[in-house]
Amino acid sequence: MTTNPETDIPSNLTASVHYLVSQALLLAVDDSSAQQLKETQRRLTEPLRVAIAGRVKAGKSTLLNALVGEELAPTDAGECTRIVTWYVGGNSPGVAVHHRDGRIEQRLYKRGTGALAVDLGAPLEAVDHLVVTWPSSRLRDVTLIDTPGIGSLSPETSLRAAELLPEGEESIATVDAVLYLLRHAHADDIRFLDAFHDDQFGRGTPVNAVGVLSRADEIGSLRLDALDVAARVARRYRADSRIRKLCPVVVPVTGLVGHAAMTLREAEFQTLTRLAALPEDHLEHLLLTADRFLADGLMIPVPRRERAHLLDRFGLFGLRSSLSAIGSGELGSATELAAHLNQVSGLDELREILLRQFTERSRLLQARSALAAVRAVVRRGGCAEPGRLETLAEEVTSSAHEFREIQLLNDLRAGVVELPADHRDEAERLLGGNGFADAARLGLPPSASPGVLARAALGQLGFWQSLASSPRSSRQLRIACRDVVRTIEGLIATNEGRSAAEAG
């Protein structure tokens, strides 16, 4: 690690933010500010916090279960769906109730074949949030936060989701990123995303907001090509200037099918195989509606109770897709069916986007959250020497090129900075818009060697240098292009160094 001799701030981004927070903690003037700064220190070493938000009945809990691969979050209209619930990784399961008065109480829970049922032990209005600890590898690098529905008939329930967002410069955001579930672009959706987005550095920006076109099978009327229809709708959303500015990545997903894929049982596959053996016209008639599928007196080899279970687990779209694939001979095992459902549900694509958009950027997103937290404490008078701390924060911000990349990416997508149309997508990719890894920035396969990456970056350098120095370019464009040049130079230096190390 190197340091700046003038300020003694470490040049490594994470280390420099740690240094800033520690300095602020030394200068805290009251217990409340000190506690918040200690919490900020802890957040820098914890998994990334990602909230799953959206309107009522958007499918938030179902999607969370699909991402974790277990049925943990209740999906009915019970009491716990009206509370913010954190799902964190741990060595052993447990549920803690965090009360509004600051008390934390471990509570008993039940889990049969369905989701967790928790005895709150207190009135709903006295509970701030729940923390569910669960031994899952999918919760190792990320903490998922399930939120009550926005637009609920209960104003108090809707406000619980909004409380995760900062209110003004003196408050601290609880989450680092948001996965926002859309069905139709409702005004409430735009308001929430707009509240999460803030041009103040360190608050929400499009790089830490991903849109999910949820229950995508319903958008396509539950037909076999439903996800293709939903994909076209998602592309229209991405082209909508209001949504692109706030949430440029929108992916169609059917969480119910994704969850079924992650938790598929061999017995279910065998039952589906028996159904798939029915005559094609009989099966087509059976799958026209849910009522027909569940009708009594049908002369088929699957009792009504088992059919009801399958409908609840897969939905009509999932059943149609599964039975079509099994009947055509494409699939011969539960493992193959699970892979098929994962793909058609859109869950595989969403996981890839989460890796690209959030996980690879976790260090950067957490650093931004920490900077915002320090500034919030300082601006409300929680630290002595506020001028010095503001200067340190500004030095950390200005010295980290990663921050400038995010701001420029934001400006490009919002139309604040305009590049030639045929090079805008290229600039977004170089800045990390399609992925934070070097190969993704250069549009190359993940397996590309450092030497190949270095040569590809070198091939990009000349154009952006010429655009940055062209007298025909506006001042704003020249500044933007110089930032892109700095990114490319970093890619060249890093990969030439790796290539030399491999050669040596």
Confidence of residue 10 (pLDDT cuts 50, 70, 90): very low
Q: Which range, of 188-197, 229-238, 451-460, 472-481, averages the lowest pLDDT? A: 188-197
Q: Residue 9: is its pLDDT beyond 50?
A: no
What is the pLDDT at residue 483? 92
- Residue 415's φ and ψ, nearest 5 degrees, are 85, 10
What is the pLDDT at residue 405? 86
Here the tokens at position 56 are 């009522």
Integer-rounded Cα radius of gyration of the chain: 25
Map residue 85 onto helix, strand or coil: strand
What is the pLDDT at residue 78? 57
- Residue 464's φ and ψ, nearest 5 degrees, are -70, -30
Q: How far apart are CA 19 and CA 370, in angstroms?
A: 11
What is the pLDDT at residue 192? 64
The residue ranking higher by pLDDT, 158 or 46, is 46
Here the tokens at position 273 are 């195989």
The residue ranking higher by pLDDT, 355 or 269, is 269
Q: Residue 5: is its pLDDT beyond 50?
A: no
Confidence of residue 115 (pLDDT cuts 50, 70, 90): confident
Here the tokens at position 438 are 């070097």
What is the pLDDT at residue 92? 92
CA atoms within 13 A of residue 409's CA, in its CB half-sphere: 27
pLDDT tens per residue, range 65-80: 999 988 888 766 555 6
179 CB contacts (<8 Å, ≥6 apart)? Answer: 50, 51, 52, 53, 63, 210, 212, 354
What is the pLDDT at residue 198? 46
What is the pLDDT at residue 185? 57
Q: Which range, of 160-164, 203-207, 488-492, averages the lowest pLDDT? A: 203-207
- The DSSP secondary-structure symbol of 278 reads S
For 455, counting Cβ atoms within 10 Å of its Cβ (0-12 exposed, 13-18 middle, 19+ buried), the class is middle
Tell me the residue type at 200: Q
Bridge partner list, 49 = 143
Q: Residue 177: is its pLDDT beyond 90?
A: no
CB neighbour burial string for 284-318, b if at least 16 within 10 angstroms, e if fewer: eebbeeeeebeeeeeebebeeeebebbeebbbbbb
Q: How far apart are CA 242 and CA 246, in angstroms?
A: 7
Confidence of residue 135 (pLDDT cuts 50, 70, 90): very high
Q: Residue 181: is its pLDDT beyond 90?
A: no
For the chain, how far is it from start to end, CA to CA, in angstroms? 23
Q: Can you list the pairs that 77-81 forms with residues at least 24 positions away whose Cβ atoms lie under 8 Å?
A: 78/117, 79/120, 79/124, 80/116, 80/117, 80/118, 80/120, 80/130, 81/148, 81/149
Shortest CA distance to 175 belongs to which of 214, 212, 202, 200?
A: 202
Domains of the chain in sequence order: 13-44+362-398 (no CATH), 48-257+348-360 (3.40.50.300), 264-341 (no CATH), 417-503 (no CATH)
Confidence of residue 271 (pLDDT cuts 50, 70, 90): very high
pLDDT tens per residue, range 93-111: 999 999 989 899 998 888 7
pLDDT tens per residue, range 438-479: 998 999 998 999 999 999 999 999 999 999 999 888 888 899
Shortest CA distance to 146 belongs to which of 73, 210, 204, 95?
A: 73
Confidence of residue 34 (pLDDT cuts 50, 70, 90): very high
What is the pLDDT at residue 4? 41
Q: Residue 199: is its pLDDT beyond 60?
A: no
| Alpha helix positions (H), 27-151 | 31-43, 60-68
The residue ranking higher by pLDDT, 408 or 260, is 260
What is the pLDDT at residue 494? 92
Please give the C-alpha separations between residue 291 and each of 294, 296, 297, in angstroms, as whole numbers.
5, 10, 13
Confidence of residue 200 (pLDDT cuts 50, 70, 90): very low
What is the pLDDT at residue 121? 83
What is the pLDDT at residue 433? 80
Q: How far apart are CA 440 and CA 442, in angstroms?
A: 5
| Token pair 């959206």: residue | 54
The residue ranking higher by pLDDT, 395 or 297, is 395
Map residue 84 onto helix, strand or coil: strand
121 CB contacts (<8 Å, ≥6 apart)? Answer: 97, 105, 107
Here the tokens at position 416 are 């604040």
Query: What is the helix (H) or strand (E) element at residue 323, kind and residue range?
Result: helix 304-327
Helices 255-262 and 304-327 cross at an angle (nearest 10°) of: 90
Q: Give the angle 5-8-14 at the CA atoms, nearest 5°.
A: 125
Query: What is the helix (H) or strand (E) element at residue 144, kind and residue range?
Result: strand 142-146
Q: Residue 25: is its pLDDT beyond 70?
A: yes
Please give the C-alpha separations between residue 415 and each of 191, 306, 357, in angstroms, as whole numbers.
20, 54, 20
Q: Residue 419: is its pLDDT beyond 70?
A: yes
Mean pLDDT, the chain, whole residue set: 83
What is the pLDDT at residue 166? 52
CB neighbour burial string for 248-269, b if at least 16 within 10 angstroms, e if fewer: bbbbbbbbbbbbbbbbbeeebb
